[in-house]
């Protein structure tokens, strides 16, 4: 162990990522209704507490419930914004994973799968951009319905506001970058002999791990996944944990 200063910096930056996470979600929610930023931040924090205490990502439901209560939105609408926020985050995570894959040697089959996946992602994004008017019209028609379908589609209203959707994507990219910096601070705290981009592979490994195994607070899963991400750089598993 080298320095508590790096750990303190990691903690501060982690809090900044929470604030940016809430701003990303707020950009999506604002497509439905203008709400104070503190409402999305409070709901986000409640969701984090729920995820820390409950298994199977139950914190996501508590986020939606808190937003619905504070912003006076239908529960179905609030939950749709939560899901759409996750889609935006996952899309940018795919890009982060692609970047990380260029930093380590991959088997030929894995490299081909990465390239195909990126082509599909960019193709789908291009199709949404080209057909956004048709998508907007469909969303607008469905929003007029007074039943559950209308309330669910109401949560997709940000699709009709490209600037808000672009802002959400921008916040997501910055958040992933800050998470990599947080990982790098932890690596520096233990003075591990790895290059800076090892932090990117660690972020990818951790998020794949916690997504595959949903434990309360990600206890144990986070540590093992972090160590697995560093193992690529020949860091012993015991030291990584």
List C-alpha distances in Å: 124 to 11, 90, 180: 36, 14, 27
Here the contacts of 49-53 (C-beta below 8 Å, separation 24 or greater) are 51/216, 51/217, 52/216, 52/217, 53/216, 53/217
User: In the structure, how many helices (H) and strands (E) does the chain have?
Assistant: 11, 0
Question: Does the structure show a pLDDT above 60 at 95?
Answer: yes
Average pLDDT over residues 103-127: 71
pLDDT at 26: 96
Average pLDDT over residues 167-193: 92
Question: Does the structure show a pLDDT above 90 at 126?
Answer: no
Mean of pLDDT over the chain: 82
Q: How confident is the model at residue 147 (pLDDT cuts 50, 70, 90)?
A: low
Question: Does the structure show a pLDDT above 80 at 122?
Answer: no
pLDDT at 135: 62
Predicted structure pTM score: 0.81
* More confident: 28 or 116: 28
Question: Does the structure show a pLDDT above 70 at 34?
Answer: yes
């Amino acid at each position: 162990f080298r320095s508590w200063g790096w750990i303190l910096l990691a903690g501060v930056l982690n809090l900044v990522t929470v604030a940016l996470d809430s701003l990303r979600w707020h950009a999506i929610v604002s497509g439905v209704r203008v709400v104070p930023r503190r409402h999305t931040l409070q709901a986000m924090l409640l969701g984090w507490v729920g995820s820390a205490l409950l298994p199977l990502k139950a914190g996501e439901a508590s986020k939606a419930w808190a937003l619905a209560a504070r912003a006076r939105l239908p529960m179905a609408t609030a939950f749709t914004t939560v899901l759409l926020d996750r889609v935006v985050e996952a899309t940018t995570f795919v890009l982060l994973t692609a970047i990380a894959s260029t930093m380590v040697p991959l088997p030929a089959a894995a490299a081909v799968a990465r390239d195909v996946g990126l082509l599909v992602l960019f193709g789908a994004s291009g199709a949404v951009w080209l057909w956004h008017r048709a998508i907007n019209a469909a969303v607008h028609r469905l929003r007029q319905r007074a039943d559950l379908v209308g309330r669910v589609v109401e949560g997709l209203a940000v699709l009709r506001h490209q600037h808000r959707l672009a802002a959400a994507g921008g916040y997501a990219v910055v958040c992933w970058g800050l998470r990599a910096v947080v990982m790098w601070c932890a690596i520096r705290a233990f003075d591990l002999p790895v290059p800076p981009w090892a932090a990117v592979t660690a972020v990818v490994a951790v998020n794949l791990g916690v997504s595959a195994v949903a434990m309360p607070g990600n206890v144990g899963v986070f540590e093992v996944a972090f160590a697995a991400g560093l193992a690529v750089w020949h860091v012993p598993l015991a030291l990584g944990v």
